[in-house]
Amino acid sequence: MSAKKSPFTRHPDNPIVRPGTYDWRLAVTFNPGVIRDDDGRFYLWERAAGRLRPFQCYIGMLESDDGVAFRHSSDEPVFTPEMAGSKNGSVQDPRVAKIDGRYLMTYAFRPFAWNSNPTGVSVPESYEAEFPEFDGDSTKNMTRTGLAVSTDRLTWRHESWLTPADIDDRDVILFPEKINGRYYLLRRPQQWVGEKYGVENPSIWISSSPDLETWDEPSLLARAEQPWEGGRIGGSTPPVRTDAGWLMLYHGVEYLRAIPWTRTATGPAANSVCYRVGAMLLDLDDPRKVIGRTRDFIMEPEAYYEKHGVYIPNVIFPTGNVVVDDELWVYYGCCDTAIALATAKIADILATIE
């Protein structure tokens, strides 16, 4: 699929949010949650890190009148690993929804941060950092997803865990409103593969709850089908209500080749990857039903800042979107380094779905 067919237009000021200014975000800022609140202003929660060894991430908050020029709401992070239960951990990839007057943030959490050594051409060479409290058992350091709650956007508290501690389960996203009285949640459990689960690669699952505490058994929503989705797919942005259904962007990860002189945390050569974006449409009344899906990706790394960065090359990773008139404004991480904005007519995105 050529870039000419993409419905998205990149903002000329990209990347619109860049690392720097504060010690806790000197190295990178990426993968933001974004909402446009009732006051018409844009609020953005960034994942940021001050260094890569250890690669300990925090969540900062910014705000904007126009959705492009953002400034920090606080000099300090608004959510930290210690608030999630481990001062040595990492809090990552916030997605934010406002439901019944409360701000609900899903976030990925690792109890002990990793050390990361970027290669410039592949997934970084990463290994668990040494902390006195960590005994080296990797099964105790899986990435799970938590729920944080706020009433003012700035002050957050950890509310509960949405996924278990014994599997890697991220890309966990709440729908922005209750559907028939229930909350709906997207998940991407890394270990749910094989004959038992009916999928060969990590896939998107969905479950619901009446109270954000008791969740029904997840059901499979979508699996990788196209070559560009390759190694795995996962939810990207909170679904958006349209007349046609819930519009959801998702990402596919294609493993291009192993880089012989690199190593992963478990030993083998690290992969050169490419993160691209697709879209799917879910039923308004029963979002467990997929109405349609893009066959081809609708956005891929093209700009320099999407192909080259501090952490992983060739990555665009949307995590926030806002409806502005008839457009969808999509905020995405670039190479795990900075934050960019792309916009598209909602009708044009829907036209790509089969």
Cα-flanking dihedrals φ and ψ of residue 213, to 5°?
Answer: -120, -50
In the structure, what pLDDT confidence band is assigned to residue 265 with cuts at 50, 70 and 90? Answer: low
The pTM of this model reads: 0.96
For residue 122, give both structure tokens. 């592949």
Q: How many domains does the chain have?
A: 1
Has residue 3 got a pLDDT over 50?
Answer: no
Rg (C-alpha) for the chain, rounded Å, is: 19
pLDDT digits (tens, 9 = 90+) for 158-216: 999 999 999 999 999 999 999 999 999 999 999 999 999 999 999 999 999 999 999 99
d(CA 125, CA 119): 7
For residue 230, give both structure tokens. 């390759």
For residue 212, give both structure tokens. 């954000």
- Please tell me the predicted confidence (pLDDT) of residue 266: 67
Q: Kindly state the DSSP code that residue 288 receives in the 8-state scheme.
A: T
Burial level of 109, CB count in 10 A (0-12/13-18/19+)?
buried
DSSP letter string, 289-327: SEEEE-SS-SB---SHHHH--SS-SSBEEEEEEEEETTE
Cα-flanking dihedrals φ and ψ of residue 304, to 5°?
Answer: -55, -45
Give me the amino acid identity at 206: I
Strand bridging mode 42-49 / 9-10: unpaired
For residue 328, give both structure tokens. 């969808």
DSSP letter string, 62-117: EEESSSSS-EES-SS-SB-HHHHT-TT-EEEEEEEEEETTEEEEEEEEESSPEEEE
pLDDT digits (tens, 9 = 90+) for 326-353: 999 999 999 999 999 999 999 999 999 9
- Please tell me the predicted confidence (pLDDT) of residue 128: 87
d(CA 61, CA 201): 34
pLDDT digits (tens, 9 = 90+) for 82-131: 999 999 999 999 999 999 999 999 999 999 999 999 988 888 888 888 89
Has residue 245 got a pLDDT over 90?
Answer: yes
Cα-flanking dihedrals φ and ψ of residue 226, to 5°?
Answer: -110, 155
Q: Which residues, 6+ apart, have CB-to-CB distance to 2 below 8 Å?
A: none
CATH number (domain holding residue 78) = 2.115.10.20
Domain that holds residue 43: 3-350
Widest CA span in the chain: 54
d(CA 105, CA 23): 24
